[in-house]
Each structure stands twice: as C-alpha cells, then as structure tokens.
Amino acid sequence: MKYLYLDTETDKVILIAKKKIEDHPNTEYVVNDDFDLTKEMPDEGGGSIRLEGFLTATEFLARYNSNYVAKRVSAYPSIEDQLDNIYHNGVDAWKADIKAIKDANPKENN
C-alpha cells in the first residue's frame, strides 16, 4: 500500500510513503501499490514521457474518486482493527462492517 498526503489549498501531493505517517498534518489517502500515479507530459520531440508521482492533488483526486478499489482500500480498517473486531464482536459483525464498505463503494459495471 501507499500513503499519500495532499494539500488541496496548494494543489500538491505533499508526500508518497510506504508506511503511515502518524499525525501528519495533511489529508491522507491510501491506495494499492498498483494505483497509477503516473502523469503523461509532452516532450520536445512531439511524443510524451510518463512521470511517476507528479500528479497534482486535483489530478490524483479525480483518478482516486473514479476508482472504487482505491476508495474501498481507504475505507477498510487496518487488519489489526479488523481482527480485534472479529475477536470482540464475532465474524458476523465483521462481515456486516465490510459489506457496508463494499456497498458504499460498489464495483463499476463494465
């Protein structure tokens, strides 16, 4: 997973990290490692180059909001919290919580 921290006032992705940064002052988004963070830019020869991690906050949010997987990943509790939920409340309660997240972020119909 990747943790992205955005500053929407300046339209910048402040940080892309492999680990959660506790108490980071900017808004956090969690995406899978395969989430596309590349940006295509024209080159001088009329072609284009792909740059990793150069999206603006606006570009990232547009891509993120169109991707149900990314929204689900951010909505799921940590594995530790999910296991704690199962221990204290049982598998059926955990299933209900996960179903609510899936229902709130449905798969796109292709």
Per-residue pLDDT in tens (0 to 9) along the chain, 110 residues: 899 999 999 999 999 999 999 999 999 999 988 888 999 888 888 888 888 878 999 999 988 888 888 888 888 998 999 999 999 999 999 999 999 999 998 887 64
Q: Is the pTM of the predicted complex or chain greater than 0.85?
A: no
Q: Return the structure tokens found at 70.
A: 């990314």
The full set of domain ranges for the chain reads 2-75, 77-110
Q: Quick one: pLDDT at residue 47?
A: 87
Give Cα separations from 83 to 5, 22, 37, 87, 103 (angstroms): 26, 21, 31, 6, 21
DSSP of 12-48: EEEEEESS--TT-SSEEEEE-TTS--EEEEE-TTSSE
- Alpha-carbon dihedral angle through residues 80, 83, 87, 91, given to the nearest 10 degrees: 160
